[in-house]
Amino acid sequence: MIVETGSRRSIQYFTIMNAIYVETWRRGELARRVEDSRNALRDCQMCGCRCGVNRLAGEAGLCDTGLNAVVSSYGPRFGGEIGWGGVGNIFFSHCNLGCVFCQNSEVSQLGRGHEATAQELAEMMLALQQGGCHNINLVSPSHVAPQIIEGLQIAASRGLSIPLIYNTGGYDSLDALHLLEGVIDIYMPDMKYADEEVGWRYSGVRGYPAINRAAVKEMHRQVGDLKLDEGGTVVSGLVVRHLVLPNGLAGTAETARFLAQEVSRDTYLNITPDYRPCYRAAEFPELSRPVSPQEFLEALDLARQAGLVRLDESHGAFLMRTD
C-alpha cells in the first residue's frame, strides 16, 4: 500500500488476489516451462554469469549451486509496513554476485543452508500460504529460476495462489526472465552500479550495468509499472531498489536517467541509505564508512532531476534485501 507521510511514501507488499501463474498453470504452460528450464541447466545461462556448466550432471558454476537449490531459511516476516499477514520469505544461498560489502555473507558467499528438492520448495511455498502470508518473497533467486519453476508447478497443482516477488540483485539473464514471464507478479531488482569497472571491483562480475539494464527493461515489459488496486494493495509491477554507496560509487545519476528515459518515468524507485561496511568492505578505503545523510539526500535529488516521479523516501523500510 502506498502510504503518504508528508513528502514520503512507503509501500505494503500484500495482496489476496490470485497470482498470474495460476492461469499459466491452468493452461498447462507452467509444465512446459519446467521441461524447458530443466533443459536449460545442461548449458546453464540462468544468470548474468552465463557459466555454461551442466548442472543436471551436478556441476556447479560461479554460483556454486548444482542441480538443487540451496535454501538458508524460510518463514514469514512481519512489520508495520508489510501487512498483518506477513510476507513469506524464502532465502536462497550462493548469490550470483560476490559483493565485498555483503551484509549476509554467511549465506550469500559461504553458502550456509541445505539443498532443497522441488518437492521441498513446494512444501515451503504452501506452508507460507497456509500460515497466512500474502505473498512469497524469493530472495536471491537469479541462479535458481528453474528450480523455483519446478517447485511452483507442484505447489500450484496443490492450490498455491499467492503472488511471487522476484527479489534479485539484478544480475539476471534474459534466458531466465523469458521462462518467468507469466510466473512473476512483482519484480524487485537491485540496480547496484552504473559503471562496469565498479561492478567488477566490488561484486566480481563483468558487464553489470548492461546486463542489469537489459534485465530491468525485460522485467518492465512483462509486468509494467507498479499497480495498486483501489484499496492501495499491490497488484503487480516493477519496483527498483538502489543502494546509495559512499563517494558516489553507485552511479545514481546515470541509473536514474536510464530509468526515466528508457524504462518509465513512473518507475517506483526505492533509494536506500542503509549501506554499512560489512564483510570485506574494510579492505576498500572508499567503502569503509556508512553513507552520510547528505549523500542520501543528494541521491534523491538526482533521481528527481532525472524526471522520476515515484520515489520511496522511507529510508528503505520495506522488504529490504540483506546484501
The answer to whether domain 3-237+258-264 has CATH 3.30.1330 is no
Query: Any alpha helices (H) in the chain, and if so which ranges?
Result: 20-26, 29-40, 105-108, 118-130, 145-157, 174-180, 196-203, 208-223, 252-258, 293-306
pLDDT band of 108, cuts 50, 70, 90: confident
Q: Among 130, 104, 139, which Cα is nearest to 13's?
A: 139
CB count, 10 Å around CB of 304?
Answer: 13
| Length of the chain counted residue by residue | 323
Give me the residue spans of the domains in the chain: 3-237+258-264
Distance separating alpha carbons of residues 194 and 291, to the nearest angstrom: 18
Per-residue pLDDT of 237-282, as tens digits, reads 999 999 999 999 999 999 999 999 999 999 999 999 999 999 999 9
Q: Among 110, 76, 97, 304, which Cα is nearest to 189's?
A: 97
* Sign of the four-CA dihedral 252, 256, 257, 262: positive
Mean pLDDT is highest, among 3-12, 15-24, 220-229, 262-271, for: 262-271
Q: Among 74, 145, 135, 100, which Cα is nearest to 318's?
A: 135
Tell me what the mean pLDDT of segment 298-320 comes to: 78
Tell me what the mean pLDDT of segment 124-132 comes to: 96
Distance separating alpha carbons of residues 146 and 296, to the nearest angstrom: 37
pLDDT band of 81, cuts 50, 70, 90: very low
pLDDT at 85: 62
Q: Is the pLDDT of residue 62 over 90?
A: no
pLDDT band of 111, cuts 50, 70, 90: low
* CA–CA distances in Å: residue 227 to residues 80, 97, 197: 21, 29, 35
Q: Which three cell numbers stand for residue 75?
A: 518463514
Average pLDDT, the chain: 89
pLDDT band of 61, cuts 50, 70, 90: confident
pLDDT band of 7, cuts 50, 70, 90: very low
Q: Any bridge partners for residue 69, and if so which?
A: 116
pTM > 0.85: yes or no: yes
Distance separating alpha carbons of residues 128 and 8, to the nearest angstrom: 31
pLDDT at 233: 64
CB count, 10 Å around CB of 320?
Answer: 16
Q: Which of the 8 DSSP states describes residue 225?
A: B
pLDDT band of 315, cuts 50, 70, 90: low
Per-residue pLDDT of 191-242, as tens digits, reads 999 999 999 999 999 999 999 999 999 999 999 999 987 766 678 999 999 9
pLDDT at 49: 93
Q: Which three cell numbers stand for residue 107?
A: 549465506
CB-based burial label for 130 (10 Å; 0-12, 13-18, 19+): exposed
* Sign of the four-CA dihedral 120, 121, 124, 126: negative
Tell me what the mean pLDDT of segment 292-309 comes to: 97
pLDDT at 5: 29
Q: What are phi and psi of 142, to 5 degrees?
A: -55, -40
Tell me what the mean pLDDT of segment 11-25 comes to: 75
Tell me what the mean pLDDT of segment 150-178 comes to: 97
Per-residue pLDDT of 176-197, as tens digits, reads 999 999 999 999 999 999 999 9
